[in-house]
Chains A and B, each alone.
Chain A
Amino acid sequence: MRMFAPLILPVFGLGLAGALWAVATLLLATDTPILANFAPVEALRAFLRLVADPLMWEHIGVSLQRVAVGLVVALAVGVPMGILTGVSRAFAQTTTPLFQFLRMISPLSWMPIAVMVLGVGDAPVYFLLAFAAVWPILLNTSAGVAQLDRNWLMLARSLSATRFETIFRVVLPGIVAHILSGVRLAIGIIWIILVPAEMLGVSAGLGYFILDARDRLAYPDLMAAILIIGALGFALDYAARWLYQHWLHKR
């Protein structure tokens, strides 16, 4: 019994939110009957149906694949750039204002340009996700390099390490914790950008499903999709946090 004690309050909080949701739809439906479709019972029924539907899993799979591609591209760009920023003062001074400027632009602002340049399809979505996710990874990486133990670098030098060996044997492993916390932030951002990004010119994915549910007037499906998005995001964040903790404990 004691094992479940830490779950009592969280479950109570979620239950309370569900109750408020039920009450809100009930009250609002008296004026606007169509809103009864958004009630939790309808949503849960749709949720159970959708979870059993292979088509839904295809949408989820497509969305998760986009998350993965966006994250990989963001890592491939952000980590080397972050290391460069961390090791080269000139590079840092050259790029910092530009990065701070770009970072503050909502990635979705690039949507029209992305579609014009990259065409309709997955490419602009990948671009938007990677563009949104690259900043936390880049900034965390360069912070990690700045906080590296100077003695490790001295050790590398005393062992006549090449630049390549220094980066791959000392710097990179030394900043994994920082990169992982960047990844966790990046996943959060990607997951938030994903749904609106999937509302442009693609024909699968959770964002697409939301618009499609709206057009089909399948409101319980829409609410169920929102629940699925929340649950998956929660799971992704949990996984990223576990990865981070796991790495820290190993050390």
Chain B
Amino acid sequence: MNAPQPRAATLGRDRATEQVLSAERLSFAYAKSGTTFEDVSIGIGRREIVCLLGGSGCGKSTLLRVLAGLETARAGTVSFLGQPLNHPHPRSALVFQQASLLPWLNVFDNASFGLDFKHQPAIEASARKARVREALAAVGLAGREQAWPAELSGGQTQRVALARALAREPELLFADEPFSALDAITRAEMQRLLVEVVHRWHAAVLLVTHDIDEAILVADRILLMAGKPGHIHRQWAVDIPHPREDHAEAVTTLRMQILAALRATTEGAAPTLAAAPAPTPTPTHS
């Protein structure tokens, strides 16, 4: 069971591609509601786990969808491996809150779903099978390949969804609150598993979450998103060694910092919302 080798050819490129993903000055607005987020710039390095943390309605999920190429920004650019991104990139993968397994396919076929699509890099059937088997083994589902989704628990279906993403050997894994529908124990298991497998697969991760502990446990870098329209309020580099449960003091300190920053955003937001009319992008806006 070998994890995919680091791709030496791509590692040696120029500095611009050292980042898997870079987004400059993104804004987004849905047609019917106001601006969702504004002037957001994000870079994600190779193998970096970035957590986008924020309360509900701050636009973090929409930001993820824009970065993943599922939605088009109103302004700004997204580039993936140095190329402008217009569609979901074959070297990226997504995991959502719902596992969204297809009930008419067994576990194996769910995990390999999409690998043979036209816009995916062509791989031989035998290589595809090997990849899927390896991904399923990595998430602890070896031997359950023939099971139907209906026979699995919530945690197991999310494992299949993770395997489906890993089988694509992604350069970057987008995860939108992937564990928030799970019970606390399963969630902790899955958080550990996520860190383990993305390290083995040499993938970078953008994890959207509203769970501060989840962000602290898995992230290399935490971006706090807040405001209406949303923007990146603060960020922290997390250099606590894994497993982080063993470093309670450092974890608690960071936790308090993040909580304080969160409180500042909500306290700061309330008066401005009451005093000023809807914030509009103007040249004076800092």
On A, residues with C-beta under 8 Å from B are 149, 151-152, 154-162, 165, 169-170, 173-174, 176, 250-251
B70 lies within 8 A of A162 (CB): no
A155 lies within 8 A of B100 (CB): yes
State in angstroms the CA–CA spacing of A190 and B104 once bound together.
29
B90 lies within 8 A of A170 (CB): no
Say what secondary structure dominates the interface of chain A: helix
A151 lies within 8 A of B100 (CB): yes
Chain B residues closer than 8 Å to A160, beta-carbon distance: 87-88, 90, 117, 119-120
State in angstroms the CA–CA spacing of A154 and B96 once bound together.
10
Residue of A159, A161, A170 most packed against chain B (CB within 10 A):
A159
B120 lies within 8 A of A159 (CB): yes
Residue of B nearest to A160 (CB): B119
Assess whether B118 is interfacial by the CB under 8 Å rule: yes
Residue of B nearest to A165 (CB): B117
Chain A residues closer than 8 Å to B117, beta-carbon distance: 159-162, 165
Assess whether B113 is interfacial by the CB under 8 Å rule: yes
Say what secondary structure dominates the interface of chain B: loop
With A159-B88, A251-B104, A251-B148 given, is the CB distance from A154 to B118 under 8 Å?
no
On B, residues with C-beta under 8 Å from A are 68, 70, 87-88, 90, 93-94, 96, 98, 100, 102-104, 113-114, 117-120, 148, 150
With A151-B98, A251-B103 given, is the CB distance from A157 to B119 under 8 Å?
no
State in angstroms the CA–CA spacing of A169 and B114 once bound together.
9
| Minimum C-beta distance from A175 to chain B (A) | 11
| Minimum C-beta distance from B81 to chain A (A) | 15
State in angstroms the CA–CA spacing of A173 and B90 once bound together.
24
With A151-B98, A165-B117, A251-B148 given, is the CB distance from A158 to B68 under 8 Å?
yes
With A157-B70, A160-B87 given, is the CB distance from A173 to B104 under 8 Å?
yes
A250 lies within 8 A of B70 (CB): no
Residue of B nearest to A162 (CB): B118
State in angstroms the CA–CA spacing of A173 and B102 once bound together.
9
Chain A residues closer than 8 Å to B120, beta-carbon distance: 159-160
Chain B residues closer than 8 Å to A173, beta-carbon distance: 102, 104
A152 lies within 8 A of B104 (CB): no
